[in-house]
Structure 1
Amino acid sequence: MKSKIYLLGLIVLFFISCKKQESIKVTTDDYCAAVDTVTGIMVHDIFSPPVASRIYVYPNIAAYEIMVQNSTKYQSLQGQLKGLDSIPKLDPKSGVNENLAALIAHIEVSKQLIFSEEALEKYRDSLYEKWGSENQKEFDISKEYALKVVERIKIWMSKDNYKQTRTFSKFSVHPDQAGRWQPTPPAYMDGVEPHWGEIRTLVMDSASQFKPKAPYPFSIDKNSAFYKEAKETYDVGNMISKKLTEVEITKSKQIPEESAIASFWDCNPYATVTQGHMMFAKKKNTPDAHWINIAKIALKKSKSDFKTTVFAYTKTSIGIFESFISCWDGKYKTNVVRPETYINQNIDENWRPQLQTPPFPEYTSGHSVVSSCSSIILTSIFGDNFSYTDDSELPFGLPKRNFKSFKQAASEASISRLYGGIHYRAAIENGVVQGTNLGTYINSKIKFFKSK
């Protein structure tokens, strides 16, 4: 009897050992979680909005280029994005799990772009251990191919002029030159990324391709367009302050809508808090992170598959990256003074905006450009009337907001800069035009789908 049981056990073990291991399953949720992990690290590391756009775009492109290797629907961006070529080809018979390789590439490229590498390595290693236990052979083959693509992407991104701009001079501030940007309270930081317009574009012919209309000529004449714009920002800020005071007096729980909108779209990673002699940074999303999360919300609501997920993140991040180059190129060329500085010098020396003024020149509004461009791109993917609930700011203590479309959200994000007291109306409206034109151009210029 014992010998029969022993023999039966050997047979069972034989069949178990011969049983083919199942393929490692990598889902939309897995990819979104990896993007969210990188976002969390970026918030912790306090990257500027322009630099954050770079951290999003290259990992997504790396994943996309793997995902399209044997796709019948999507096509490569090689030859379409400046300098992108020589992505290693994938033999369909190699045994590589494309979804797995795409996610590995995303993580490994991200690691090259952040400061807190250990945090991402910890996340990565937990996934590697899990995948290896599920199917070691498939994991090893997929990882080997992914790393080949990563090496190619690293070479490509190293030539975008980012490293060179780290050594360029700081932005020169001349307080005696009226109308020019000056550092603002409370931190009085230097101008952030004054050379971002020199970063290699991916799609645009040049950083100035979508150059906006010129700002109004600086003037302190009360009849001038510039003064009237500053006065509008001042009056709107006072109106909101009055409403907030009434809320405090009546102990109402209903925050004025304009104030709620300004706070929701603040997205200033440089916001600081002063306590006594100490000053520390508040952890906040960047505009990039907010719109990347909106893409995730749309993907989850539409129950998109893995390939659609990588495509949507990639196209959105390309738009955001180009938006910051376009906007920053203009900011430092026009070098327009912020409302806070102008109002304090010419209207009311005690006035403060609801939002802290970000540390760079005013024209045009970055959120207007980025939001408008992102809305055009997301609309091209999910449709005109895609309603959703935006929970992007929940981690920062702000409630959800509902939108009927991406364009409505972009419009609200843009006007939030007036409510927050950090922009004039021209920078907002012309920023919207700038971002809309850029998004439309990207939609027509880059071909993501193969011709039928």
Structure 2
Amino acid sequence: MKQKFLLVVAVVLFACLSCSKHYVPAPDQKYPADLANAWMQLHIRLTRSTTGYNSLVSNRSFGYAGITLYESLAPGIPGSRSLLPQIGGTAVTTDKNRNAYYWPASANAAMAAISRSFFESTSDANKASIDSLENAYSVQFQSEADVDEIQNAIEYGRQVATSIFEWSKTDGGHQAYLHITDPNITQLGDGTGHDGIWISTTLPPAAPALPVHPHWGDNRSFIANIAVSTQPGPPLAYSEDPKSPFYEMVNELYTISLSLSHEDSTIARFWGDQPGNLNVPAHATNILTQLIVNKHLDLELAAAAYALHGIALYDASIAAFKTKYTYKLLRPATYIRNVMMHPDWNTVIPTPSHPEYSAAHAVVSAASAAILEKIFGAHCSFTDHTYEATYGARSFNSVADYAREAGRSRLLAGIHYSPSIAAGLVQGRLVGYQVVQLRIR
């Protein structure tokens, strides 16, 4: 039975909102965040239903979508700074006074344009949804602003989207949904797993899976050289000796797998984000949307939040995959079946087709949490309703707790060793710390 998830957020009470003064919105810019949320919810739907939009490809699209949203509004925000020159891009200038634009119309046009560009291969029904959302806001704007202000804004928003999309083509990930594997890379080691190098964990009669996105770690990041500057040290030295630290690490996971509680299984599946539901960055973005809705952020602050969050997601994925294909560590299922001799052992959720170290979910979740912490405060409690209909809601005392549970879920699911999760949480936090140094004012 296909799992259900919530994209329209119910009312949730949060304990706090502690925004840095760096992110306080300008007093004369109080457009509601509904437009930003609606476009990001559609983006979530598009990543869920467009072929090839796995977590990695989606991390990238959320990054560029968030930047597009913010840049389409930035000139209309007094005292704002463009993010683009800070992340290797070029700001798009305006040729009129900022009061000559109706800025929500700029954001609407920009998000429609960037969505069409990134999801050029999506279904006709999804393309119609992009048109429908854009048109719905266009009709609404007719009663809110002068026709010239709206048209000026539409032209500027489209210009922003075009400029950013053209820039995105040069980062190494363009149309990655068409190039998930490299036919020239069919195995990473000797193909046995006894060298400690990753091999496919799919079981017969299924064909062995190829390693996915082996070059992702070489993509251009938004924060220059972030993959290099956030690299963890190497994993434990591979060994098949039952007295070795490596064997003990795998045995910890195996022992846990034998006595999972109902809560353990729920955590593993809640954060599993398997195909047909949300992927990892879509889930993280849905958490951000819930916080934006329940804290009543305005359009400016919501756009900045989506931009910083998206930048963190993409850069975290690049950093994690740089690590993965540097060390190429095998997955627990390979070791448990072939070395510990439990051939029928399996994981709670399918093992992804890429090396184990570091744990990408931990890296991405920790980077996400660092952005949420900057915006909402380190001790802000919240409840995630994303899969409430299937697994119930998950409540957290802080955004850091969310990252820790998301990371640990991979140990409970049987697909990551605990040291890889710990290293991933540190790595993701380092990514997030660099992203929050970007200035929007």
**Which residue, out of 151, 157, 162, partners 1:151?**
162
Q: Which amino acid aligns with 2:100?
A: G
**Deviation of the 1:372 alpha carbon:** 0.9
Larger radius of gyration: 1
Moved more, 68-77 or 325-334: 68-77
Counterpart mapping for 1:181-260 below 5 A: 181-186=198-203, 188-240=208-260, 243=261, 256-260=262-266
Q: Which amino acid aligns with 1:182?
A: I
Is 1:358 the equivalent of 2:352? yes
1:401 corresponding residue in structure 2: 394
**Deviation of the 1:168 alpha carbon:** 5.2
**Which residue, out of 60, 65, 72, partners 2:71?**
65
2:406 corresponding residue in structure 1: 413
Counterpart mapping for 1:271-310 below 5 A: 283-310=276-303
**1:422 to 1:138, Cα distance in 2 relative to 1, 3 A:** same
Is 1:112 the equivalent of 2:131? no
CA distance in 2, matches of 1:335, 1:27: 46
Q: Decide whether the 8 Å contact of 1:170 with 1:190 is kept in 2.
A: no
2:11 corresponding residue in structure 1: none
**Deviation of the 1:423 alpha carbon:** 0.6
Q: Decide whether the 8 Å contact of 1:220 with 1:226 is kept in 2.
A: yes
Is 1:447 the equivalent of 2:439? yes
What do residues 38-61 of structure 1 show as CA deviations (whole Å, max 9, x unaligned)?
211211125121110111111211
CA distance in 2, matches of 1:131, 1:403: 35
SS at match of 2:100: coil
**Deviation of the 1:133 alpha carbon:** 4.0
Q: Which amino acid aligns with 2:339?
A: N
CA distance in 1, matches of 2:36, 2:126: 14
Q: Decide whether the 8 Å contact of 2:55 with 2:280 is kept in 1.
A: yes
CA distance in 2, matches of 1:222, 1:420: 23
2:375 corresponding residue in structure 1: 381
CA distance in 1, matches of 2:361, 2:352: 11
**Deviation of the 1:117 alpha carbon:** 5.4
**Deviation of the 1:121 alpha carbon:** 3.1
What do residues 299-349 of structure 1 show as CA deviations (whole Å, max 9, x unaligned)?
111110011111111111100100000000110111111001110001211
1:276 corresponding residue in structure 2: none
1:274 corresponding residue in structure 2: none
Q: Decide whether the 8 Å contact of 2:200 with 2:211 is kept in 1.
A: yes
**1:145 to 1:226, Cα distance in 2 relative to 1, 3 A:** same
**Which residue, out of 35, 40, 44, partners 1:35?**
40
**1:405 to 1:381, Cα distance in 2 relative to 1, 3 A:** same
Q: Which amino acid aligns with 1:61?
A: I
Is 1:438 the equivalent of 2:425? no
**Which residue, out of 261, 272, 276, partners 2:267?**
261
**Which residue, out of 332, 335, 342, partners 2:328?**
335
Q: Decide whether the 8 Å contact of 1:208 with 1:330 is kept in 2.
A: no
5+ residue gaps, structure 1: 1-24, 244-255, 270-282
**Deviation of the 1:77 alpha carbon:** 1.0
What do residues 70-117 of structure 1 show as CA deviations (whole Å, max 9, x unaligned)?
3124311132002x1141325225732112211321221122112215
**Which residue, out of 47, 54, 62, partners 1:56?**
62
**1:131 to 1:414, Cα distance in 2 relative to 1, 3 A:** closer
2:185 corresponding residue in structure 1: 171
SS at match of 1:68: helix
Q: Decide whether the 8 Å contact of 1:81 with 1:203 is kept in 2.
A: yes
CA distance in 2, matches of 1:229, 1:210: 24
Q: Which amino acid aligns with 2:361?
A: H
**Deviation of the 1:376 alpha carbon:** 1.1
Q: Which amino acid aligns with 1:149?
A: V
CA distance in 2, matches of 1:377, 1:149: 24
What do residues 276-311 of structure 1 show as CA deviations (whole Å, max 9, x unaligned)?
xxxxxxx02211111111111111111100111111
SS at match of 1:207: helix
Q: Decide whether the 8 Å contact of 1:294 with 1:390 is kept in 2.
A: yes
CA distance in 2, matches of 1:131, 1:376: 32
Work out which structure has the larger RCO, using CA pairs closer than 8 Å and 6 or more positions apart in sequence: 2
SS at match of 2:84: coil
Q: Size of the alignment, in residue pairs?
A: 395
**Deviation of the 1:125 alpha carbon:** 2.5
CA distance in 2, matches of 1:230, 1:335: 16
SS at match of 1:152: helix
CA distance in 1, matches of 2:253, 2:360: 17
Q: Which amino acid aligns with 1:150?
A: A
Q: Decide whether the 8 Å contact of 1:204 with 1:322 is kept in 2.
A: no
Q: Decide whether the 8 Å contact of 1:59 with 1:107 is kept in 2.
A: no
What do residues 375-409 of structure 1 show as CA deviations (whole Å, max 9, x unaligned)?
111101110111111012247x3321111111001
Q: Decide whether the 8 Å contact of 2:250 with 2:336 is kept in 1.
A: yes
Q: Decide whether the 8 Å contact of 1:170 with 1:191 is kept in 2.
A: no
2:197 corresponding residue in structure 1: 180
Moved more, 62-71 or 414-423: 62-71
**Which residue, out of 85, 89, 93, partners 1:88?**
93
**Deviation of the 1:265 alpha carbon:** 0.8
CA distance in 2, matches of 1:170, 1:307: 45
Q: Decide whether the 8 Å contact of 1:372 with 1:435 is kept in 2.
A: yes
SS at match of 1:183: coil
Q: Decide whether the 8 Å contact of 2:35 with 2:104 is kept in 1.
A: no
SS at match of 1:402: strand
Q: Decide whether the 8 Å contact of 1:372 with 1:439 is kept in 2.
A: yes
2:26 corresponding residue in structure 1: none
CA distance in 2, matches of 1:314, 1:119: 27
Q: Which amino acid aligns with 1:359?
A: S
CA distance in 2, matches of 1:144, 1:120: 23
CA distance in 1, matches of 2:233, 2:118: 34
5+ residue gaps, structure 2: 1-29
Q: CA RMSD in A?
A: 2.1
**Deviation of the 1:429 alpha carbon:** 0.7
What do residues 253-273 of structure 1 show as CA deviations (whole Å, max 9, x unaligned)?
xxx21111111111233xxxx
Q: Decide whether the 8 Å contact of 1:75 with 1:447 is kept in 2.
A: yes
Over the matched positions of the two proteins, sequence identity in percent amounts to: 28
